Amino acid sequence: MTHAVDPPTPQLDAVCGHRGRKRVFFVVATIAMATLIIDVGTKELVRQSMSLHQRIEVIPGLLNLHFIKNPGAAFGLGDTWPEAVRYPFFLIVFAVAAWVLFSFYQRCRPHQTWLKISLGLVAGGAVGNFADRIVHRKVTDFIDIYYGSYHWPFFNAADIAITVGVAILFIHLWFFEEEKRGEVERGNPILSQQTPESS
């Protein structure tokens, strides 16, 4: 006969604990704040030192600093949409993104370093672009990568943070989810002590 396994939720919470939650919050918040400061600082530097549509060649044939104001989202998404559609859409996207990030944050454990880095980068970048949109009505973009006549859509430090953070999150989910479950089970006294028995 096989013994039933009790729901693991209380034990999973015990694995993390109050001190563990504080460590997770500290790391995520620190990375998010650093990302936000870098994003806001670079945008303000561009606005103060460059005129709109000014271009400065950094690496010939590859990289320019080019100051534009983007009414759309990352990499120019939605920049041609009417404002009556664009702003409600971005508010909904921001709310959904915040809910998803909070969900991952609730599941994050102190040993999951890459997940903490991912959440901090995405949160800081999302807040940076959202704040820019609220304060300036448009997002300041200034990085122009190109080759020949092809130009990648303009972007900024927040876009980089979001892109890197999402990439890390996918890698974590793809490669480390099984490892995480194994570590949680080994730390769960019920799951580690109960084994199927037959009679």
CB distance 127 to 134 below 8 Å: no
Give the span between the Cα atoms of 35 and 122, in whole angstroms.
Answer: 9
Q: What is the pTM of this model?
A: 0.76
Contact residues for 104 (Cβ-Cβ < 8 A; gap 6+): 115, 118, 119, 169
Q: Is the dihedral of CA 7, 10, 14, 17 positive or negative?
A: positive
What pLDDT, on a 0 to 100 scale, did the predictor assign at position 99? 95
Residues of the chain with pLDDT under 50: 2-15, 189-199
Tokens (6 digits) for 146: 């190109």
Q: What are phi and psi of 141, to 5 degrees?
A: -115, 150
Return the closest-CA partner of residue 124 out of 66, 11, 41, 37: 37
CB distance 121 to 35 below 8 Å: yes
| C-alpha distances in Å from residue 157, one per residue of 31, 73, 180, 199 | 14, 13, 31, 62
Mapping DSSP to helix (H, G, I), strand (E, B) and coil, where does residue 55 land?
Answer: strand
Tell me the HSE value of 23 on the side-chain side, using a 13 A CA sphere: 12
What pLDDT, on a 0 to 100 scale, did the predictor assign at position 73? 66
What pLDDT, on a 0 to 100 scale, did the predictor assign at position 105? 93
What pLDDT, on a 0 to 100 scale, did the predictor assign at position 82? 73
What pLDDT, on a 0 to 100 scale, did the predictor assign at position 182? 56
**Which residues are known to be catalytic?**
141, 159
What pLDDT, on a 0 to 100 scale, did the predictor assign at position 31? 98
What pLDDT, on a 0 to 100 scale, did the predictor assign at position 6? 43
